[in-house]
């Protein structure tokens, strides 16, 4: 135990605290609390990334970028000594009277056991950890959850179980649907992130991993405890990537890893990133909309995946939310408008509050594709036309005329497209892009990589729609059966393109790129790719794709045009 003097409270740091589980297992936690008598609200996170791995050691490029963008982050009250990837900085929270707890999930870091990320057992353990935190002598009995990505996805799930002592959650850029947000986009396996994530961020932190490159800065010892043999390590973990590949439909395996959002009844502050098409963005918006909580807020930001979470203005927002629900401070939080949007511009954004999402004043506007002119326009084409492309090639572009006036798009996007394939299936990748008057593409600094405006995906054999959960402006696919195509026959597909926000300047153009493979910027390898050989490496996805427009097979992009107030 060490005591570090800080602003209003000195900080007690208790390392490797034992938290008992109902089956006799022990999880290990780091606990940071005020060194003063009293009972304090708790904010916590539980996950597989190693509670003792310093941000700079485990994620050096991201750390260096964060320090370059915000060089004063490790000053003015924080040394940065205890900063961990995607969790709060204790030195910025404990002085304000919070207890901060970071728990290694079963089988990771200092917590022995079977490593099974995103399993039901992992979430049952989280329930037990929350109960432990809520009943300690230094706890006021109110626990809040906060964290990014993995530490957000688990919040949605554990909150749906309604554990005692849980009082509020702040899922920051985290998926809420294991299948649609993360594993399979439009039925196409998303493996690019997974194949890097599993060895680097999970296996390197497995409990007993003698090969981990990480050392605890406090002790100099491995962050994963005593080393285990290779056979024992292998037997102590699931094969998550292989399991993902074995479940191409939204079956019980995926449903077990997705919450019933309607059961969430604690207050929610869901924070999403417009620059995250392909990971998390959809989850934060759907999580907000579908959560059963009567008190819930949506906050949308821009920038990198990890940047905003640590910035003073956002930390102040997080604390204000928790101060209201965990401490009972009458700070006016409940009067905050439910929606806060960083509305994107070509450079930067402008913050605006709203009373709902999608915005009630949205004018849902169809832009029709014309295969004859490769155009995208509010008017229907004069006649039917078609165009074909190699399903493994670069596809085709449909472009608008220059916008005559500044135009805002904020909300859901859907593509209705008529297609045919020379094979029994077809993968369609839809990319919405923005170009300036000189033809230069606007590239956004996204959550995980440089991004276009937004993206969408659909495997034609997964075209079945869940009518009960779909809306005129938002399609929801069932993904519960495979409906192969008759080669040469045309079919109507409704493609979910992930939500977006942009104020298009006058003179700029939109381009819709449609192709049968991942879109990547020249010279910039993508991270969120869909190229798993078992999923896409067969002849069904190597044929000729044909798109139909106009006449009885009118194809269009439905855009959320937002007029000024």
H helix or E strand, kind and range, residue 516:
none
Question: How far is 481 from 355, CA to CA, in rounded Å?
Answer: 38
| Residue 6 pLDDT level (bands cut at 50, 70, 90) | very low
| SS3 of 236-286 | CECCHHHHHHCCCCCCHHHHHCCCCHHHCCCCEEEEEECCCCCCCHHHHHH
Per-residue pLDDT, averaged over 150-168, amounts to 98
The CA distances from residue 361 to 62, 366, 556, 563, in Å, are: 38, 16, 21, 7
Record the tokens describing residue 254, joined without a space: 């995926």
Contact 269, 310 (CB under 8 A): no
Question: How far is 278 from 301, CA to CA, in rounded Å?
Answer: 16
Q: What is the pLDDT of residue 75?
A: 86
Q: Which domains does the chain have, with CATH numbers?
A: 2-172+188-247 (3.40.50), 363-562 (2.60.120.260)
Q: Reduced to 3 states, what is the DSSP secondary structure of residue 173?
A: coil
Q: What is the pTM of this model?
A: 0.96
Contact 318, 308 (CB under 8 A): no
Tens-digit pLDDT profile for residues 8-26: 568 999 999 999 999 999 9
| Residue 447 pLDDT level (bands cut at 50, 70, 90) | confident
Question: How far is 459 from 184, CA to CA, in rounded Å?
Answer: 10
Q: What is the pLDDT of residue 9?
A: 63
Tens-digit pLDDT profile for residues 27-54: 999 999 999 999 999 999 999 999 999 9
Please, what is the average pLDDT of the chain? 95
Tens-digit pLDDT profile for residues 383-440: 999 999 999 999 999 999 999 999 999 999 999 999 999 999 999 999 999 999 999 9
Tens-digit pLDDT profile for residues 176-232: 999 999 999 999 999 988 999 999 999 999 999 999 999 999 999 999 999 999 999
In the chain, the percentage of residues whose pLDDT exceeds 70 is 98
Tokens 């079956």 belong to which residue? 251
């Amino acid at each position: 135990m060490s005591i570090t003097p800080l602003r209003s409270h000195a900080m007690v740091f208790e390392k490797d605290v034992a938290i008992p589980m109902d089956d006799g297992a022990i999880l290990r936690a780091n606990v940071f609390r005020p060194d003063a008598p009293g009972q304090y609200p708790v904010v916590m996170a539980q996950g597989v990334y190693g509670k003792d791995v310093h941000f700079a050691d485990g994620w050096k490029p991201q750390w260096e970028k964060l320090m370059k963008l915000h060089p004063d982050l490790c000053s003015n009250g924080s040394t940065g000594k205890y900063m961990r990837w995607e969790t709060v900085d204790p030195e910025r929270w404990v002085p304000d009277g919070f207890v901060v707890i970071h728990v290694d999930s079963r089988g990771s870091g200092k917590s022995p056991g079977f490593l099974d990320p995103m399993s039901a057992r992992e979430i049952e353990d989280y329930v037990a950890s929350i109960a432990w935190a809520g009943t300690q002598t230094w706890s006021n009995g109110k626990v809040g959850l906060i964290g990014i990505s993995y530490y957000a996805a688990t919040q949605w799930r554990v909150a749906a179980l309604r554990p005692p002592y849980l009082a509020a959650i702040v899922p920051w850029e985290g998926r809420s649907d294991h299948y649609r947000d993360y594993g399979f986009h439009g039925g196409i396996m998303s493996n690019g992130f997974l194949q890097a994530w599993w060895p680097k961020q999970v296996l390197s932190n497995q409990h007993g991993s003698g090969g981990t490159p990480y050392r605890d800065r406090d002790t100099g010892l491995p962050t994963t405890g005593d080393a285990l043999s290779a056979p024992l390590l292998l037997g102590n973990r699931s094969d998550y990537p292989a399991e993902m590949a074995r479940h191409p439909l939204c079956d019980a395996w995926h449903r077990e890893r997705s919450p019933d959002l309607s059961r969430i009844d604690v207050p929610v502050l869901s924070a999403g990133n417009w620059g995250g098409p392909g990971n998390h963005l959809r989850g934060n918006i759907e999580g907000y909309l579908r959560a059963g909580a009567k008190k819930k807020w949506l906050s949308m930001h821009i920038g990198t995946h990890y940047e905003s979470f640590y910035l003073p203005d956002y930390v102040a927002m997080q604390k204000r939310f928790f101060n209201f629900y965990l401490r009972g401070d009458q700070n006016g939080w409940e009067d905050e408008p439910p929606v806060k949007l960083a509305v994107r511009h070509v450079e930067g954004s402008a913050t605006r509050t709203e009373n709902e999402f999608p915005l009630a004043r949205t004018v849902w506007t169809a832009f029709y594709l014309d295969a004859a002119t490769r155009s995208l326009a509010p008017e229907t084409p004069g006649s039917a036309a078609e165009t074909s492309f190699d399903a493994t090639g670069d596809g085709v572009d449909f472009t608008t005329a220059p916008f005559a006036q500044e135009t805002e798009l904020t909300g859901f996007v859907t593509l209705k497209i008529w297609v045919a394939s020379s094979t029994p299936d077809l993968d369609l990748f839809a990319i919405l892009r923005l170009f300036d008057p000189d033809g230069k593409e606007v590239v956004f600094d996204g959550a995980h990589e440089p991004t276009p405006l937004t993206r969408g995906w659909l495997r034609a054999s997964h075209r079945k729609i869940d009518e009960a959960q779909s809306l005129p402006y938002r399609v929801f696919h069932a993904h519960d059966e495979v409906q192969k195509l008759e080669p040469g026959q045309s079919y109507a597909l409704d493609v979910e393109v992930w939500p977006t926000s942009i104020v298009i300047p006058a003179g700029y153009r939109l381009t819709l790129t449609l192709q049968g493979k991942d879109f990547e910027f020249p010279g910039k390898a993508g991270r969120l790719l869909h190229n798993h050989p078992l999923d896409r490496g067969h002849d069904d996805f190597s044929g000729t794709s044909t798109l139909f427009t106009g006449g009885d097979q009118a194809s269009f992009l439905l855009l959320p045009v937002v007029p000024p107030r």
